[in-house]
Amino acid sequence: MLVLSVITGVCIIVSFLFDSKKTIKGVKKGLTMFLNLLPTLLLMLALVSIVFYLVPNETMIKYMGKDSGVAGWLIAASLGSLSLIPGFIAFPLCSILLKSGVGYPTIAVFITTLMMVGIVTLPVEAKFFGWKTSIIRNAVSFVAALLIGIIMMLLL
């Protein structure tokens, strides 16, 4: 976070020294895009916080449990698609899952959907790509996550 702030600050200053008009135009443009997106972002964050409340970590551990096989995978993939957990929470959670007996392939499926598939982020994605393309990208990624699990299982 600090790194990003410093980078942004330096970029603005250097850019301003070269061309103040261009800089103002660029910053304005960036902030306008942000403000246009803000209502959708707030909607997304509201959805995330509700999902996070409805499906707490304990529930995830319970459902993924030791049940590997197709059901376990589908549960892992669905939970991963539904939630949007930042890495600093996701990886510790996965390490707990591992210790509670969940297999590596299931973890791989869970992580991949967590990262690539986002149902709660769909409204934001659709603002950029349109609904149809966004849904297709997420669906393809969902299948890909299962595929990654299968390869993982064959290799481990």
Partner 1 sequence: MKKLTKYIFPIVFLAFIGISYLLNFASGEQIGGNFWLFFKEMILFLPLMFILIGLFDVWIPREKIEKHIGEDSGWKGTLLVILLASLQAGPLYGAFPFAYILWKKGCNIRNIFIYLGAFSTIKIPMITFEIGFLGLKFSLLRTLITLPVFIIIGYIMEWYLKDKNFEVKQP
Stretch that binds partner 1, among 58-66, 74-82, 93-101 (CB under 8 A): 93-101
CB of 69 to partner 1, least distance (A): 20
H or E element at residue 61: helix 57-64
The burial of 113, by beta-carbon neighbours within 10 Å (0-12 exposed, 13-18 middle, 19 or more buried), is given as buried
Chain centroid to Cα 102, Å, comes to 21
| Helix axes 131-155 and 122-129, enclosed angle (nearest 10) | 120
Stretch that binds partner 1, among 50-58, 64-72, 74-82 (CB under 8 A): 50-58
The whole-angstrom separation of Cα 62 and Cα 105 is 17
Give the tokens for residue 151: 């390869």
The whole-angstrom separation of Cα 79 and Cα 62 is 12
Stretch that binds partner 1, among 61-69, 72-80, 139-147 (CB under 8 A): 139-147
Q: Using the rule CB under 8 A, which residue among 30, 66, 74, 131 binds partner 1?
A: 30
The mark string for 94-133 relative to partner 1 (x by CB under 8 A, - otherwise) is: xx--x-----x--xx--xx--xx-x--x--xx-xxxx--x
Q: Using the rule CB under 8 A, which residue among 13, 71, 74, 136 binds partner 1?
A: 136
60 near 89, Cβ under 8 Å? no
94 near 111, Cβ under 8 Å? yes
Binding residues (CB under 8 A) for partner 1: these are: 1, 4-5, 7-8, 11-12, 15, 22-23, 25-31, 33-34, 36-37, 39-46, 48-50, 52-53, 84, 86-88, 91-92, 94-95, 98, 104, 107-108, 111-112, 115-116, 118, 121, 124-125, 127-130, 133, 136-137, 140-141, 144, 147-148, 151-152, 155-156
